[in-house]
Structure 1
Amino acid sequence: MTLWLTAMLVWVAAGARVGRVLVKPATTARVAIVVAVAAVAVAATVAVPEIALAIDNLHPRGLHSGLLSDGVLTSAWILFAIATSVVASAAWPVVSRRNLRQIAFVIYGIGLVAVAANLFWSTTFGGIVVALGCVFIVITGVRNLDWTTLGRGIAIYTAGTALVAVLAILEIRPAIADAPVTKPGEPDWGWPAWEVAGLLIAFGAVWIVVELWVRARMLLRQIKLLHRIMIGRFPEVVAHEQAGTATQLKASDQVAQIMDALYLQSGGGVELVAAGPPPPSVAVRADRVAQWARNPLGDVVVDARWIAPPEGISPRGWVQAIARAYDASTPVPVRN
């Protein structure tokens, strides 16, 4: 059951990558990621015993020893390693966008030869290709790690690839030594590890999409009250034809609408002597703007200098800070 679930989840990730290519320019790297995740999905599907048996039944001699399904399985992992190697090549400084396509053709050509050798000669050779390709991918991934949305996705993807490399090495060592991978009667411990590797790769491939969606949903929830109050005062900042957009675009639109409404409420760029210069503390500044947004006719005075995002803070982060201060000063209704 877990094998079927793993295959389904990886196919969902592959579909998400296909959708991303359809809405954005189909670059060499984006297409390679689609091929890589689809190859992992094929591998996860072939790993299901019922599917493997159906593939073995296609053998013209009726041999059900698993050789045909093993060849298809290893070929899928070869395709994953080859396609991801194309993406990894793009990260090296010596590779430019101009020659990446030519390099990709060469890598794919090597991959096709490796797949043919794996199917018609030796799956051990295919395992060696998988291990070597994954080692190259892991080295490239480690060189490009950082604490960003993309960096976190690369880290997860690289972790899955590293696990594939370890598993491939562990499987080809007994084959080279002419020994069985598992002794008779022993469970094949490797399959759960292959499932984990496939899920890590799939999750890493869609991490950017998932994280951006989650962050957009959190932002919409944080600024909901402030947004409702400000567009209630200045409905002209809302372009009604923007309704129904994607979550990320909707969050960006609402941030822009809040900033526009705050700017209009401040007098449209007028600087007031009574407001004074804004303090360096972001928290103090956000708290004052939130008080003024709540009661623009009160004692708190704010001008355009206070509305502008502080240095080093994005408009999204600045609106979040104001929304948090606004929510903190909102009295909680008492229920009888």
Structure 2
Amino acid sequence: MTPWITAVLIWIAAGARVGRVLVKPATTARVAIVLAVAAVATAVTTAVPEIGLALDHALPGGLPSGLLSTGVQTAAWIGFATATSVVASAAWPVVSRGNLRRIAAGIYGVGTAAAAVTLAWSTTFGSAFVVLGCALVVVTGLRNLDWTALGRGIALYTAGTALVGLLAAADIRAAIAGERARAAGAALPFAPAWALAALLIGLGAVWIVVELWLRARLLMRRTHALHSLLVRRFPQVIAHEQAAWSTQLRASDQITQIMDALYLQAGGGARFAAGDPPAQVPERAAAVARWARDPRGVDWVDARWIAPPPGISPRGWVQAIARAFQPSPGAHGRK
């Protein structure tokens, strides 16, 4: 069952990447990521014993000992290394957008030739090509690591690619040492290490989408109480004809609606003689939260207090207010 689950998960990741290409411009790098993940999905699907056996017997007379399935697996990993090398090339400063397509065409040509040689001659040659391609990707990935959503996705993708390169190198060593008779067509069993590498690659490919979705859900949960109270007071801040269709857009709309409602409660953004707001963000957020909960009990908050402090985004500022907001059990919306 594990091989099937792995294959399904990787195909889901490939579908997610296809969806991203459909909603955003289909650049050379985005298309290459789709091809890379699809190649990984093909490799792990072929590694499923039942599918590999069916593939070996697809041609008349069948093929002995898993020759065709092993060759297809190796060719699929060549496809992954090829497409990922295109993505890596796009990350190098010396490669401009103008010549990226020409470089990509050359890389795809070399990869296609390597896959053809692998299927017709030796999977050991294909493994060597995979090692070279993975080495390029790992070097590029390490140069672009940082602690952001994209950086974490790159780290996962690079870790999976590094594992693929190590496994391909191990296959070469085993073939040279005679530990596997791959030239005679000995089929590779489904290896957990290959599955782990595929899962890391698939997760890295969709990490930024998953993380942004989770962060948007967490944001909406944290600001739900504050948002609900302010929307009841000022329902006009919701544009019903512009309903958001994604979680990220709904979270952004919720932040905008909270800020709009706070400005409406302050008199449409008028500046009064309320004094300067506190310099400390927690103290200022607590004051705004108390005023949002009971505007009649506090009369010294104006637009300067509501505006995000310097260096803080509206999203971060609303989250600070929401953390300080403690709605009373019997609170009712009032204008």
Above 0.5 in TM-score?
yes
CA offsets 1:183-203 (integer angstroms, 9 cap, x no match): xxxxx8970000000001001
Amino acid at match of 1:126: G
CA distance in structure 2 between the aligned counterparts of 1:314 and 1:322, rounded to whole angstroms: 12
8 Å CA contact 2:290–2:298 kept in 1: the answer is no
Aligned mate of 1:330, from 311, 327, 332: 327
Residues 1:309 and 2:308 are matched in the alignment:
yes
Aligned to 2:141: 141
| Deviation (angstroms), 1:279 | 2.0
Query: Where does structure 2 lack aligned partners over 5 or more consecutive residues?
Result: 183-187, 331-335
8 Å CA contact 1:167–1:190 kept in 2: the answer is no
| Deviation (angstroms), 1:84 | 0.6
8 Å CA contact 1:171–1:181 kept in 2: the answer is no
| Deviation (angstroms), 1:302 | 0.9
Aligned to 1:39: 39
Residues 1:82 and 2:82 are matched in the alignment:
yes
Query: Counterpart of 1:95 in 2: which secondary structure?
Result: coil
| Deviation (angstroms), 1:95 | 0.8
| Deviation (angstroms), 1:306 | 1.0
Amino acid at match of 1:150: L
CA offsets 1:165-211 (integer angstroms, 9 cap, x no match): 111111111212333279xxxxx897000000000100110101111
Structural mapping, 1:51-62, within 5 Å: 51-62=51-62
The structure-2 alpha-carbon separation of the partners of 1:230 and 1:130, relative to structure 1 and needing over 3 Å to count, comes to: same
CA distance in structure 1 between the aligned counterparts of 2:329 and 2:82, rounded to whole angstroms: 57
Structural mapping, 1:274-313, within 5 Å: 275-313=274-312
Query: Counterpart of 1:299 in 2: which secondary structure?
Result: coil
Structural mapping, 1:88-107, within 5 Å: 88-107=88-107
Query: Counterpart of 1:268 in 2: which secondary structure?
Result: coil
8 Å CA contact 2:48–2:190 kept in 1: the answer is no
Structural mapping, 1:148-187, within 5 Å: 148-180=148-180
8 Å CA contact 1:227–1:254 kept in 2: the answer is yes
Residues 1:192 and 2:192 are matched in the alignment:
yes
CA distance in structure 1 between the aligned counterparts of 2:132 and 2:147, rounded to whole angstroms: 27
CA distance in structure 2 between the aligned counterparts of 1:42 and 1:167, rounded to whole angstroms: 17
8 Å CA contact 2:155–2:204 kept in 1: the answer is yes
Amino acid at match of 1:298: G
CA distance in structure 2 between the aligned counterparts of 1:8 and 1:89, rounded to whole angstroms: 29
Amino acid at match of 1:100: L
8 Å CA contact 1:43–1:77 kept in 2: the answer is yes
| Deviation (angstroms), 1:280 | 2.2
CA offsets 1:11-51 (integer angstroms, 9 cap, x no match): 01111111111111111111101000000000010000111
CA distance in structure 1 between the aligned counterparts of 2:147 and 2:236, rounded to whole angstroms: 38
CA offsets 1:92-143 (integer angstroms, 9 cap, x no match): 0001111111111011001101101111111001000101101110110010
Aligned to 1:119: 119
Query: Counterpart of 1:66 in 2: which secondary structure?
Result: helix
8 Å CA contact 1:53–1:64 kept in 2: the answer is no
Aligned to 1:233: 233
Amino acid at match of 2:162: A
| Deviation (angstroms), 1:272 | 2.1
CA distance in structure 1 between the aligned counterparts of 2:108 and 2:256, rounded to whole angstroms: 44
8 Å CA contact 2:149–2:208 kept in 1: the answer is yes
CA distance in structure 2 between the aligned counterparts of 1:19 and 1:284, rounded to whole angstroms: 43
8 Å CA contact 1:59–1:68 kept in 2: the answer is no
CA distance in structure 1 between the aligned counterparts of 2:231 and 2:159, rounded to whole angstroms: 45
8 Å CA contact 1:43–1:76 kept in 2: the answer is yes
RMSD of aligned alpha carbons: 1.7
TM-score in terms of structure 1 length: 0.93
| Deviation (angstroms), 1:242 | 2.4
Aligned to 2:28: 28
8 Å CA contact 1:288–1:300 kept in 2: the answer is no
| Deviation (angstroms), 1:251 | 0.5
CA distance in structure 1 between the aligned counterparts of 2:140 and 2:43, rounded to whole angstroms: 23
| Deviation (angstroms), 1:236 | 1.4
Of 52-61 and 163-172, the range deviating more from structure 2: 52-61
CA distance in structure 2 between the aligned counterparts of 1:32 and 1:60, rounded to whole angstroms: 34
CA distance in structure 2 between the aligned counterparts of 1:10 and 1:37, rounded to whole angstroms: 7
Query: Counterpart of 2:268 in 1: which secondary structure?
Result: coil
